[in-house]
């Protein structure tokens, strides 16, 4: 599990959904479904899914629980699912 969350913190060079290239200064955001970095256009599509609210709620609960238990200070990582970030 430790490796799983840390992997997601590394900078992706492409959107994991549509494969659009992401530069170091391009904003990206994490998918609530896969926890992989995706571009903002893909996030917009994700938000349209009927179960997005439910999935997001479960995801943030699990993320906070796991990262808090394992690392203490990685909790803010979970919010990258809702707030775009740069590398």
Q: Name the site residues for Zn ion (rule: CB under 5 A).
A: 15, 17-18, 20, 38-39, 42
User: What whole-number distance in Å separates Cα of residue 53 and Cα of residue 31?
Assistant: 12
**Quick one: 14 or 60, whose CB is closer to Zn ion?**
14
Residue 60 C-beta: closest distance to Zn ion, Å? 21
Distance CA 60, CA 86 (A): 20
Query: Nearer Cβ to Zn ion, position 15 or 59?
Result: 15
* HSE of 61, CA atoms in CB hemisphere, 13 A: 6
**Alpha helices, DSSP H, located in the chain:** 2-9, 40-47, 52-71, 75-78
Q: How far is the CB of 20 from Zn ion (least distance, A)?
A: 5
Tell me how far, at minimum, the Cβ of 57 lies from Zn ion, in Å.
Answer: 23
Nearer to Zn ion, 56 or 74 (CB): 56
């Amino acid at each position: 599990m430790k490796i799983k969350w840390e992997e997601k913190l590394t900078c992706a060079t492409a959107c994991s959904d549509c494969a659009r290239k992401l530069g170091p200064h391009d904003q990206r955001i994490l998918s609530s479904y896969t926890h992989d970095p995706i571009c903002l256009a893909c996030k917009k599509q994700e938000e349209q899914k009927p179960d997005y609210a439910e999935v997001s709620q479960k995801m943030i609960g699990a993320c906070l629980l796991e990262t808090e238990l394992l690392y203490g200070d990685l909790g803010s990582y979970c919010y990258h699912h809702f707030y775009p970030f740069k590398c």
